[in-house]
Amino acid sequence: MDGYFDLDKGVFIPGESGSFSGAAKSLLVLTEKEKILIDTGIGDLPDLPKYRELRKTISIHRDKGQGIKAQLRKHGLKPSDITSVVNTHLHTAHSGNNSLFTKAKFYVTSRECKAVDDLTSKDPNQMSYVRENFEREKDQILVKGNYKLTDEVTLVPTPGHTMGHQSIVIDCENYKLVYCGDVSPLKENLDRKIPMASVNSKMTLESMEKLLEIPNSRWIFSHDPKQLSMRSAFHMN
C-alpha cells in the first residue's frame, strides 16, 4: 500500500461527484524463483512545471508506515530485491515508483507502450501518463497476449481502461487470485457493472466479464480503500 490519492469520484464511478480517496495498491508475489511486484504505486509526482496542474488535481497522502519502501521492509525486502515488476498499465497510480526497482525486469504490454507513444506524439502536454516514472527502464519485456511469467503467475490482456491494460491471475493452492487493475478499481465497479473512466468503456466491460469467467476466484481491487489486505480479497465464486 503506497498511500492514497484524492480525485473526484466520477473518475471511478462515472456520473457521481465528490472527493474520493483511492488507495494506491501494489501486490507482492513470492514464488520459488521470483520476487514479483504487481504495480508500483503512485509515488510522488515530478516537481516539474508541466505537472503543476496535475499536482493540483491529485492530492497524494500517506499514513504512517505506508509507502512502497516501508511496505517492502515489513517483508524483509528492499527495492533491489524485486526481480520482476508487472504494470497493469502505465498510468501514474500504477507506475509511480517504477524507477526504484533498478534490478527488476519490467513486464508491460506492447500495446500499452504504443498507446503512450501515440498519445504523447499527438499531445506533448498530455497528463494521462507521467513518462518520467517509467521511460528510463533498462530491462523491459513487451508482452503480447496471455503471458506465463511463472508456473503460478499469468498475465492476461484486459483492454478498455487503456488499450494495453493487462490483469494478473495467480494460481494459489485452493483458488485463483485476480489482480484486475483498473478493469474494476473498486468493488463497486464490479457490483454495479460500471466501468471506470476508460478509453473504451465497452471493452472494459468485456474484460470484466472475461475475468468473471475464472472459476473459484478471489479479487484484489486496485484502488478500493475498504480492501487493504489479502484477508479482504473478494471471493467471487
Q: What is the pLDDT of residue 125?
A: 86
**Beta strand pairing call for 140-143 and 234-235:** unpaired
The reported pLDDT for the residue numbered 218 is 93
What does the pLDDT read at residue 232? Answer: 59
- The 10s digit of each residue's pLDDT in 131-173 is 898 887 679 999 999 999 999 999 999 999 999 999 999 999 8
Strand order in the sheet with 166-171: 147-148, 153-157, 166-171, 176-179, 217-220, 234-235
pLDDT at 51: 84
Q: Do residues 133 and 43 touch, judged by C-beta distance below 8 A?
A: yes
| pLDDT at site 234 | 61
User: Which pLDDT score is estimated for 136?
Assistant: 75
Q: Top-level CATH class of 3-235?
A: alpha beta
pTM here is 0.94
pLDDT score recorded for residue 90: 97
**pLDDT value, residue 135:** 83
Q: Indicate the domain borders of the chain.
A: 3-235
Grid coordinates representing 116 are: 503512450
Task: List strand residue ranges (DSSP E) for 17-148, in order.
Answer: 19-24, 27-30, 35-38, 59-61, 84-86, 105-109, 140-143, 147-148
What is the longest distance spanned by two Cα atoms in the chain?
50
- For position 227, what pLDDT does the model report? 87
* Residue ranges, the chain, pLDDT below 70: 137, 230-237
CA distance 1 to 173: 24
